[in-house]
Amino acid sequence: MTKSIIRLLTCGSVDDGKSTLIGRLLVQTDSVPHDSIDATRKIRRSGSTIPTGEIDFSLLTDGLEAEREQGITIDVAYRSMNLLNGKRLIISDAPGHEQYTRNMAVAASRADIALVLVDATRGVRTQTLRHLTICALMGVSHVIIAVNKLDAKDYSQSIFQSISLEISDALHRLNIKNSTVIPMSALAGDNVVDASTFMDWYKGPTLIQAIQDWAPKATIDRGARLQIQSISRAENFRGVSGTVHDGEFTVGETIKTFPGGVTAKISRIVTFNGDMEKAVNESAITLVLEPEIDATRGDLIVKSTEELISSDRYVANIVWLDENPLIHSRSYILIAGTTTTPAIVTKIRHKIEVNSGEHNSATTLLMNEIGSIEIATDTALALLPYKESRDFGNFVLVDRASNRTVGAGMIDHVLRRGSNITHHNYEVGKTERAHMKHQKPGVLWLTGLSGSGKSTIANELEKKLFNLGIHSYVLDGDNLRLGINKDLGFTPEERAENVRRTSEIAKLMIDAGLYVIVALVSPFKSDRDQARSIFDESEFFEAWVDTPIEICKARDPKGLYKKAAAGEIPNLTGLGQEYEVPTNPNIVLDGKLAVSENVNALLKLIL
């Protein structure tokens, strides 16, 4: 297999010398304009000890002014250079600071080689091991370990061997089989391009030699794939457009779409330059299929001889990137290529301890932590194990409320139970059941602090509906915790599961034709949004019972505030745990008003 472009990721802990190393590599291979080099002789970042007149190599890769002021790399800096073997090297200089791990993870997902620096004066650090772990998960095929700044340790062979031994243990634990460890000094230039005269005890390659000697591992031919990016329509045809991966498509052959599993024959391959008989790897094409099939954006097209498993249940490794922790049972948006669908993390299998490699039990993941999760999507997908396909085995999770990317995931394997479950459609459905009761089913979701009056309002509202002949039911938070939710506590992740179960029960009751009143604190907006998302827009009403906490404390119908004051309840909503005020409820109820006034307002809303 030939490859004209090699993608190199540089990473490691902050101040290990990544920018300096890449800057020197660019200068010594004549890959930087001379006026840029001249500028680095004059400009100095804050705290620099490099004399004026000498090259500050790190300035050649740090593009943001903030980076120069702080002396660290914030964003991923991309540079390119020509190798002696005629190939092009694209260099990604990733930030070393822990808070910018997300930037490094994105760069690693496309890298062929990872260059991980270790500061010989500080040794292997936690961030070094975290970056190694991410490189292993991201499927980087070769890792080069640069033990840098050995000039500050008199080019000590024993220090290099000690660090090499520690790194070798980590490489073995992470199952990184292709690696090279090089002693060097980026500042002095030892073993970067030219062999060091101070380390004659080292007989291995220089950095540039190790990069140029790299060859991609042989790939297993699994057949061509194309993920539909758009549906193309013209006067004389309708086609599906995308880019070919891992093979080629030919006019006349039979293909199959996933997750639908529908087969069709390729009648035309259309490109910007006209029709072609065969489309090879990385070609951007439009396939005209015969017969036309119901395929949509995000579907995967493969040859008919290949069998994929479409599923809505997966096991995945994930790097958590957000300041807010991962909450299982909370709904996120999963984006994989052109596919977007709601998804729930149903289980956190374990958290990976980057220093030891141990798999520790966990109920949540914090920022920059790495773990194994089980995830359920709202719709079946055709995702592949990441070890088989970096193109179709990755995804990101996006927070539904903020639209921030919160996690980067790699599919480990499909949970077959997801493909073994089929929804059964019965002839008697929601519409028929509601018609029999002469009513329109729906959900009124009452949210507010404990003591705000939710249950009292729900009770009076149900009595009014009962007298009007409307079949209804109240799902009360405390009553549910006495039964189906008795195993749940009050942590954010358990509250998320509490809301999920309650909303699923409410959905079943709506399917039975009932009107459902939910009285639940449900303090987190993302959980309430998840509940809303599983219903039709016209079926769900959110009502915020807005009662000042001083009045809630005075009422204290369950004695919870008294217990909280005594230190018996550390995470009572409104005191020890935040209540996220609804930003766009269907109605706001004043908890200071008479119950009858609030009930009448609700009746006007829902009837």
Both tokens assigned to 503: 């909303």
Among 306, 303, 297, smallest CA distance to 264 is for 303
Question: Helices (H) and strands (E) in the chain — how many of each?
Answer: 15, 30
User: How far apart are alpha carbons 208 and 503 in whole angstroms?
Assistant: 58
Both tokens assigned to 2: 């030939």
Q: Active-site residue numbers? A: 522
Give the helix/strand (H/E) hosting 561.
Answer: helix 560-565
Q: Distance between alpha carbon 578 and the CA centroid of its chain, in Å?
A: 25
Q: Would strands 442-447 and 540-546 be described as parallel, antiparallel, or unpaired?
A: parallel
Q: Across-strand partners of 474?
A: 517
Name the CA dihedral angle for 339, 345, 349, 353, rounded to a multiple of 10 degrees: 80
- Sign of the CA dihedral 264, 266, 271, 274? negative
Residue 577 three-state SS? strand
Q: Distance between alpha carbon 211 and the CA centroid of its chain, in Å?
A: 30
Other residues' Cβ atoms within 10 Å of the Cβ of residue 248: 14
Question: Are the CB atoms for 543 and 458 separated by under 8 Å?
Answer: no
Phi-psi region of 139 (alpha: psi -120 to 50; beta: other; left: phi over 0): left
User: How far apart are alpha carbons 159 and 164 in whole angstroms?
Assistant: 8
User: How far apart are alpha carbons 99 and 403 in whole angstroms?
Assistant: 19
Name the CA dihedral angle for 304, 308, 311, 313, rounded to a multiple of 10 degrees: -170
User: How far apart are alpha carbons 511 and 501 in whole angstroms?
Assistant: 15
User: How far apart are alpha carbons 197 and 189 in whole angstroms?
Assistant: 10
User: Phi, psi (5° rounding) for residue 134?
Assistant: -65, -40
- Sign of the CA dihedral 489, 492, 494, 497? positive
